A and B are shown apart, each in its own frame.
Chain A
């Protein structure tokens, strides 16, 4: 194509396009700006947020109970006072809801050690404490399991050798982590019985490598957050003084 032909073609194209006068895209520049303290907060926005923030702070900080000591998830080997408190709270607060809906009782509770996100400090306990202990939105689910899966659950606890919070399950192991005793609600685990295990939806979905919840006989979603179970427990108690007990111990 000769250059003059090229020009004719250009004029023709201009003629076709002159109505909408399109501007072609010639350059794109991308960048990311970090929101840092070098930026001054916009006052109007800050003032708008303040009443919402103040209201939350007030509610979060209103005292619900008193903690007798400092409790940490690292105080204790195979069970901890704080973990025991949380698992027991899930049992006592969730069981009435489960019973009302199904006529059945929760047989045991299993949470995970990693799910305890803070220490419970001596002194006033508030809703903020519950948000610190359990910042996630995980809800309580109850899963119907038979003995083979309960065995897998126990096997998981023996292998992990960690103080995963449990309630209504009692485990004693020897120095090599072989089972000496395993009981649910004080009774031997039966082949024929269906056990209702309360846990979080996170663990039910395989969190922390807990693979024994599926398949199962049935799943009951209580729509009740673990954090709210803790808050409801705080409201009922005057003083929190959980203890390390014999629910999971090693006989050396």
Chain B
């Protein structure tokens, strides 16, 4: 096929976007497809029960989310389940049990990783630490330096998951705590520049660790109007080698994931699914060694 035809095919259809430049580097003779499914929640805020009334009546609920996740995992075992923070605070479950039930349920739902939101400090850094024995999933945060706190060694900057030979690197980012959380709650947690940290993380994950997918699990917030405050959209533009940013904090309900051009003019997906466990985000990544498919670059369907 001629190059001109590739381009025409890739640009067919309005919902298709070409990621490009991933094509020619790695043909193998045997055609082989792997689908990686990324499921995600954010800002669940202790919402364990289904809403009984109000505008979200009959929506949400952990037991229903569990069924949904089970059915998706049954269809594709190569699935990761991630949470972008603010697990705590919002219903009496948190006031009574301090986050114990939230962590136990996320463990039962087999969450793979979560990042830390500002409200996860609502019972202080000691309150977060106290609930860690109930969490069987990894907390990841690359830009909170916990080394002078009780959380030291209990989080990782990133985690690499291997699913059917595909390496998925996930790193975490948290929001600036000063001004949002009382200093005596976060104590000596140091906030590091998310852009600089992301540049380090994407280099480590994409180049050194040779990950096939790099995911940023962020609690920075989707976008801030009339403000220079770092957000998922501005982070996506300022960095490279990140495939997906899963966001939180701003409780943003998006009609569909946003496609942003990064510093190398390549596409990054940015997604967030509102709050309170009303929605589950699902992003499927298809890897294919069929040269006819891969030669077209990456199509994004949202």
Interface positions of A (Cβ within 8 A of B) = 10, 13-14, 17-18, 20-37, 39-46, 48-49, 52-53, 55-56, 59-60, 131, 137, 221
Decide yes or no whether B271 CB sits under 8 A from chain A.
yes
Q: Write out, one digit per residue, whether chain B residues 8-25 have a CB within 8 A of any chain A CB (1) or not (0).
A: 000000000001001111
The 9 closest A-B pairs by CB, nearest first: A41-B63, A23-B287, A42-B66, A22-B26, A30-B257, A27-B286, A24-B294, A45-B63, A39-B64
One of A24, A28, A40, A45 near B284 (C-beta < 8 A): A28
Q: In the complex, what's the smallest C-beta–C-beta distance from A48 to chain B, in angstroms? A: 7
Of chain A, the residue at the smallest CB distance from B267 is A28
Given contacts A23-B289, A28-B301, contact A36 B27 (CB under 8 A): no
B97 in contact with A26 (CB, 8 Å): no
A13 in contact with B24 (CB, 8 Å): yes
Give the most central of A20, A44, A52: most B CB within 10 Å: A52
One of A14, A35, A40, A137 near B277 (C-beta < 8 A): A35
Q: Write out, one digit per residue, whether chain B residues 68-101 have a CB within 8 A of any chain A CB (1) or not (0).
A: 1010000000000000000001001100110001
18 A-B residue pairings within 8 Å (CB atoms): A13-B25, A23-B165, A23-B212, A24-B23, A24-B26, A24-B289, A25-B22, A26-B287, A26-B294, A27-B301, A28-B269, A32-B254, A32-B279, A37-B64, A42-B66, A44-B66, A45-B63, A49-B63
Q: In the complex, what's the smallest C-beta–C-beta distance from B269 to chain A, in angstroms? A: 6
List of A residues within 8 angstroms of B157 by Cβ: none
List of B residues within 8 angstroms of A49 by Cβ: 48-49, 62-63, 101, 105
Decide yes or no whether B60 CB sits under 8 A from chain A.
yes
Given A14-B28, A24-B23, A40-B64: 20 more A-B contacts, CB < 8 Å: A14-B29, A17-B27, A17-B28, A18-B28, A21-B289, A24-B288, A26-B299, A27-B285, A27-B298, A28-B286, A28-B298, A29-B302, A30-B302, A34-B279, A35-B279, A39-B68, A41-B61, A45-B62, A52-B101, A56-B93
Of chain B, the residue at the smallest CB distance from A228 is B95
Q: Which size bracket describes the interface of B in this complex? A: 35 or more
Give the most central of A18, A31, A44, A137: most B CB within 10 Å: A31
B299 in contact with A27 (CB, 8 Å): yes
A26 in contact with B92 (CB, 8 Å): no
B93 in contact with A39 (CB, 8 Å): no
Of chain B, the residue at the smallest CB distance from A14 is B27
Decide yes or no whether B104 CB sits under 8 A from chain A.
yes
One of B27, B29, B61 near A35 (C-beta < 8 A): B61
Q: Write out, one digit per residue, whether chain B residues 36-76 have a CB within 8 A of any chain A CB (1) or not (0).
A: 00000000000011100000001111111111101000000
A32 in contact with B28 (CB, 8 Å): no
B288 in contact with A21 (CB, 8 Å): no
